[in-house]
Chain A
Amino acid sequence: MTAVDLARMQFAFTAGFHILWPTFTIGIAWFVTLLSFLWWRTGKLVYRDLMRFWMRIFALGFGMGVITGIVLSYEIGTNWAGYSRAASNVLGPLFVYETLTAFFLEAGFVGIMLFGEGKVGKGPHFFACLMVACGALFSATWIIAANSWMQTPAGAVADANGVFHVTDWWQVIFTSSFPYRLAHMVCASFLTGSFIVAGVSAWHLWRRQHVEASRTAFSLAMWLALIAAPTQIVLGDMHGRNTLAEQPVKLAAMEGLWDTTRGPGMTVIAWPDMSEQRNLYALDIPHLASLYLTHSWDGEVKGLKTVAPADQPNVPVVFFAFRIMAGIGVLLLAVAITGLVLRVRGRLFATRWFQLLAMATTPLGFIAVVAGWTVTEAGRQPWVVYGQLRTMDAVSPVSTGAVASSLIAFFLIYNVLLLSFFWFGARIALKGPTDTSPPTREHPGLDRINTRALVDTTGARTTGSIEQAGA
């Protein structure tokens, strides 16, 4: 293991862990903002109950995001001094703007969002939620601008010492891959968020608890998923075609395509063997890749062999990560469409197997996001600034032992945190919202907790249960 490998492992691990939380907070923050708005405008208690419930879950994830993000902002200096020296003129300002317009905005209003409901009015509370949600979005915008510059650099030239100097800020921020990356990531956050809300609501529907709140949340989540899932597939296709134009080697690795081909087929599954420079056990569908990549029957797609093996990324990693991401995307679309069919038939809240399915899909968005980032980051190797700065020239002059020991510490600490988050997050989620809305007329009692007691016992217990439920 060299210091480069260890630093790469450390960055991959800490960045991969961090990315979970912005994904989580972008989606949930906008959901809470929507609920705060609905509570403000309609005054329906169900929205307030849901807002408070999702805010508690949001708070846990938000803390994780802040803390793991601070780590990254310093890790670039500690582990990647060569990169910092080369790219600071270009990327430093983007990080400053991220702090100024995003982190401060989130931090300045998250206190009011989480703890200020009793101290400010409904309108200002909605405004605080909106600012936190916007902050999360701005943060993604700046960091993806920085990442896109590293993938498709423009607007800057390197001098004899390899230090980049900016010639055009507009080009630096709005690089050719930036819009696709940003849209793809933001949509992924909304999609992941909608399946978290759907999964947790499905759990309560399945248990026949908090029925009114869970129905409201489940319905909202399935509408959002129905919009986000197909949008995400269209955005992914656009992003893929941009990669074909800008980073052909990465795209060839995603497709497992070794030779430059006219009208390439889609490799459904295979084992890409880097030493033999070909696929083993391949299952191909003729011309299909040509159709979705070039939108023509006989388009030309460059293969991996256009560059020397030393300049190729790790093909199996990129190949399988891409299949995991795309497979989950299609699966989530299928679930969203199934939800629509059930809704049209009036069975969205009553279909037991669909509730189980919604619960099972809860973590899939996160897996797809990590897989997607693996594709984009592993796929551009061996470059840290694509075609300009090699990863091996970007590391710090620090000892292997120091990097190795901090990597082990990160691994242990992050796993403890994740387990704690699951423990506390699950406890809040399973307990559900404090349901203070009045019972609905057509199914008195059914919308409350402790429904079993309501159904089969005496009137005295029924009253008690309603009081308990309303407390």
Chain B
Amino acid sequence: MTELMHAHYIPLVFAAVVAFCVTVYVLADGLDLGVGIIFLVAPREEDRDLMMASIEPVWDGNETWLVMGGTLLIAAFPAGYYILLPAFYLPVMLMLFALIFRGVAFGFRLQARRFRYVWDIAFSAGSIVATMCQGLILGGLIEGVPVANGMFAGGPFSFLSLLGVLCGVGLIGGYALMGAGWLIWKAEGRTQIFAREIAHAALLLTAFMMALVSLWSAWSVPEVAARWFAWPGILALAPVPLVTLAVIVALWRGIWTGAEPRTFILSLVLFALGLIGLVVSLWPYVVPRAVTVWDGASDPQTLAFISVGLVVVLPIVLSYQAHAYWVFRGKTVVHEGGYGD
């Protein structure tokens, strides 16, 4: 009896941990990808220096959550790893290439003098392409991937869908909103005014794309529509879109007049709501509509071994990451000769 209970609940706990890591990744790396997305639109060189300086000490820690998501997937839900990664081969590879250019731009831009704009473009284009790829993967995930005999059974372009493109544009808007919110908080003067202006545009795009993606996925994927509109589930789920609407209105009203951290914090809430919506649409699958969390989980002894590390080490990780943000708190200042010298 207890063993049956364990077999039922342990995968649920691990699904929650994976969802937590994905959420932290999206919220943390989203803000620095967002800074990259709006990087080239910034009017002055000193704006770009400050934008880079504001994320320089923390971007690496943020991106590590992407590795955490991948390694946790192979350890806890290997089916999700070895079916989904071949299914999204091209967008995953393209995202990695984009992250490579974006990542090395931090170091190289600082050293470059005459050809600095090359690394400006590498940083910004890398951020935009990586975000677009994440959107393509997200859209493909909602639509589902072809599986046969427990392995991916499609072609290299079977990930491609209109929904993926819509998700990509939506994510670009959402990350840009988060990045702009971060800058309203960390910057002053003209850079802050630029951030407020761009936050406005990003919010419009995000709100529009969130509505479009929700409607399109309900229309094109019957399972998703059934999940959201079936009675009486609709009563329990109705608060999600309603709260989302309230957050969008609060964001709209607070960009110019609210307290400085407000836009950033509300944009985090907006993303969290979007992720809740995603979980509702996809539950309880690791590979949508092919492998559930119970079928896809690792051996109990494997899950037991990683749970020790998660319980002991993850709180420590979270505390020193928070500490790293704390050390660099307050308004970002750019020093002579480099962001951090």
- Could you list which residues of chain A lie within 8 angstroms of chain B, going by C-beta atoms? 59-60, 63-64, 66-71, 73-74, 76-78, 81-82, 84-85, 88-93, 95-101, 103-112, 114-116, 119-120, 165-166, 169, 396-399, 401-402, 406, 409, 413, 417, 420-421, 424, 427-428
Residues of B within 8 A of A115 (CB): 56-57, 328, 339-340
Contact of A70 with B298 at beta-carbon distance under 8 Å, contacts A77-B70, A417-B104 already known: no
Residues of A within 8 A of B309 (CB): 93, 96-97, 100-101
**Which residue of A has the minimal Cβ distance to B109?**
A424
Q: How far is the CA of A421 from the CA of B64 in the complex (A)?
A: 22
B:239-288 near A, CB below 8 Å:
none
Give the residue of B70, B75, B111, B152 whose beta carbon is less than 8 angstroms from that of A397.
B152
Of residues 72 through 107 on chain B, the ones whose CB sits less than 8 Å from some CB of chain A are 72, 74-76, 78-79, 81-86, 89-90, 92-93, 96-97, 99-101, 103-104, 106-107
What is the distance, in angstroms, from B230's C-beta to the closest C-beta of chain A?
34
Determine if A104 and B321 form an interchain contact, defined as CB atoms under 8 angstroms apart: yes
Instruction: Report whether B81 and A84 are in contact in the complex, using a CB–CB cutoff of 8 Å.
Output: yes
Could you tell me if B81 and A119 are in contact, using CB atoms closer than 8 angstroms?
no
Q: Is the CB of B299 within 8 A of A111?
A: no
Contact for B306 among A93, A108, A398, A421, CB less than 8 A: A93
**Cross-chain contact B57 with A81 (CB below 8 angstroms):** no
| B83 proximity list for chain A (CB < 8 A) | 81
Binding site for A on B (CB under 8 A): 56-58, 60-61, 63-64, 66-68, 70-72, 74-76, 78-79, 81-86, 89-90, 92-93, 96-97, 99-101, 103-104, 106-108, 111-112, 150-153, 155-156, 298-299, 301-302, 305-306, 309-310, 313-314, 317, 320-321, 323-324, 327-328, 339-340
- CB neighbours (8 Å) of A59 from chain B are 107
What are the residues of chain B within 8 A of A81 when measuring CB–CB? 82-83, 85-86, 151-152
Question: How distant is the Cα of A93 from the Cα of B301 in the complex, in angstroms?
Answer: 10
Give Cα A78–Cα B83 distance, bound, in whole angstroms: 9
Beta-carbon contact of B74 and A84 below 8 Å: yes
The answer to whether B298 and A99 have CB atoms under 8 Å apart is no
On chain B, the residues within 8 Å of A165 by CB distance are 299, 301
Write the chain B residue with the least CB distance to A410. B97
Contacts of A67 in B (CB 8 A): 99-100, 103-104
Closest to B113 in A: A427
Which one of B63, B74, B298, B320 contacts A76 once the chains associate, using CB atoms below 8 Å?
A: B74
Q: A77 near B104 (CB under 8 angstroms)?
A: no
Q: With the chains together, A107 CA to B58 CA distance in Å?
A: 8
Q: How far is the CB of B322 from chain A (nearest CB, A)?
A: 9
* Contact B76–A108 (Cβ < 8 Å): no
Most chain A Cβ neighbours within 10 Å, of B86, B111, B321: B86
- Kindly state the separation between the CA atoms of A76 and B70 in the bound complex, as whole angstroms: 10
What is the chain B residue whose CB lies nearest that of A113?
B57
Given contacts A396-B86, A402-B90, 9 further A-B contacts (CB under 8 A): A74-B92, A77-B74, A84-B81, A96-B306, A111-B327, A115-B340, A166-B305, A420-B104, A420-B108
Contact A107 B61 (CB under 8 A): yes
Chain B residue with the shortest CB-CB distance to A409: B97
- Whether the pair A107, B60 counts as a contact (CB closer than 8 A) is yes
Docked pose: A398 CA to B84 CA in angstroms? 12
In angstroms, how far is the closest chain A Cβ from the Cβ of B29? 11
Q: Distance in Å from the Cβ of A110 to the closest Cβ of chain B? A: 6
Q: Which chain A residue has the least Cβ–Cβ distance from B329?
A: A119
Interface centre among A73, A92, A169 (most CB of B within 10 A): A92
**B60: chain A residues within 8 A (beta carbon):** 63, 66, 106-107, 110-111
In whole Å, how far is B2's beta carbon from the nearest beta carbon of chain A?
21
B81 and A88 within 8 A (CB): yes
Question: Could you tell me the distance between the alpha carbons of A119 and B89 in the complex, rounded to whole angstroms?
Answer: 43
Q: Hey, which chain B residues are within 8 Å of A60, CB to CB? A: 107-108, 111
Assess the A398–B89 pair: CB atoms within 8 A. yes
**Distance of A406 Cα from B320 Cα, bound (Å):** 36
Task: Report which of B75, B111, B314, B328 forms a contact with A88, defined as CB distance below 8 A.
Answer: B75
CB pair A77–B299 under 8 Å, yes or no, is no
Complex-state Cα separation, A181 to B76, whole angstroms:
27
Once the chains are docked, how many angstroms separate the CA of A110 from the CA of B60? Answer: 8
Q: Is the CB of B156 within 8 A of A399?
A: yes
A350 to B32, CA, bound (A): 49
Contact A88 B82 (CB under 8 A): yes
Select one of A91, A101, A424 contacting B107, CB under 8 A. A424
